[in-house]
Amino acid sequence: MAYIITRLCRDCLDTGCVAVCPVDCIYEYTGSDREQWPNQLYIHPDECIDCGACEPECPWQAIFEEVAVPDVFKDDTPLNYKVMENMGDFKVAQHKKIEHPTAEQVSANKQKWGWAS
């Protein structure tokens, strides 16, 4: 089982998860097909060691253990798996210190994607 980054990361790209990942399995898309590959981070499922370090570091609450991905985000699981077939268009994400979102911003982002925890 791997961890999955869901659409809650789209256009947010907080890289706190990258800073704590011991195996550098979190990638960003560098290609031009933004319709197929939204602007978010992705976890390479075969490289993920299931340590769970990334999950609590995401201020957007976008990362889930694969078996716990909410139904509203189920389409995000195969998207993370497709990274393996397209590695030429990805690079290991680099940690960039940015301002964390407020609780209100996190809540609004969840509502935007149809999920209220």
The CATH number covering residue 97 comes to 3.30.70.20
Measured distance CA(4)–CA(79) in Å, rounded: 9
Residue 32 resides in a domain: yes
Instruction: Give domain status of residue 48, yes or no.
Output: yes
pLDDT higher than 80, residue 95:
yes
What is the average pLDDT value for the chain, to the nearest integer?
95
**Where does residue 107 rank: exposed (0-12), middle (13-18), buried (19+ CB within 10 A)?**
middle
Residues of the domain holding 85: 3-112
Residue 116 pLDDT > 80, yes or no? Answer: no
90: left (phi over 0), alpha (psi -120 to 50) or beta: beta
User: pLDDT tens digits, residue range 14-67?
Assistant: 999 999 999 999 999 999 999 999 999 999 999 999 999 999 999 999 999 999
Residue 117 belongs to some domain of the structure: no
Domains contained in the chain, number = 1
Question: Is residue 55 in some structural domain?
Answer: yes
Which is nearest to 98 in space by CA: 8, 18, 6, 5?
A: 18
